[in-house]
Amino acid sequence: DAGVTQSPTHLIKTRGQQVTLRCSPKSGHDTVSWYQQALGQGPQFIFQYYEEEERQRGNFPDRFSGHQFPNYSSELNVNALLLGDSALYLCASSRYSTTNEKLFFGSGTQLSVL
């Protein structure tokens, strides 16, 4: 049983460019959440997708957008990249429930913006 998989593992972009990160959830999971982890900090919630819709959003600008596909996989898009967007981007999957107790994380995509 594959866990949460993310691609690519590393990415280097320049300021102003756009980037797309991808995530496949754990088998049996239907909800995908994205987190940004800056160096030396804890992960910060970006948004969550369920049934192909954004259900919750953290304090991130509109430059951050996402998508969920019918097979539950998800993409995170970031436009007009800034140096401060350099971080580890983590995807987490779960089953949709307001009382669900377990989120499983992928290994992340390390984004460097030069």
Partner 1 sequence: GEDVEQSLFLSVREGDSSVINCTYTDSSSTYLYWYKQEPGAGLQLLTYIFSNMDMKQDQRLTVLLNKKDKHLSLRIADTQTGDSAIYFCAEMGENAGNMLTFGGGTRLMVKP
Please, which residue, 35 or 64, has the CB nearer to partner 1? 35
Q: Does the footprint of partner 1 cover residue 69 (CB under 8 A)?
A: no
Among 11, 13, 22, 45, binds partner 1 (CB under 8 A): 45
User: Cβ distance 56 to 3 under 8 Å?
Assistant: no
Q: Does the footprint of partner 1 cover residue 90 (CB under 8 A)?
A: yes
Q: How far is the CB of 65 from partner 1 (least distance, A)?
A: 18
Is residue 84 left, alpha or beta, with left meaning phi > 0 and alpha meaning psi from -120 to 50? alpha
Task: Name the residue type at position 3.
Answer: G
Among 7, 16, 77, 102, binds partner 1 (CB under 8 A): 102
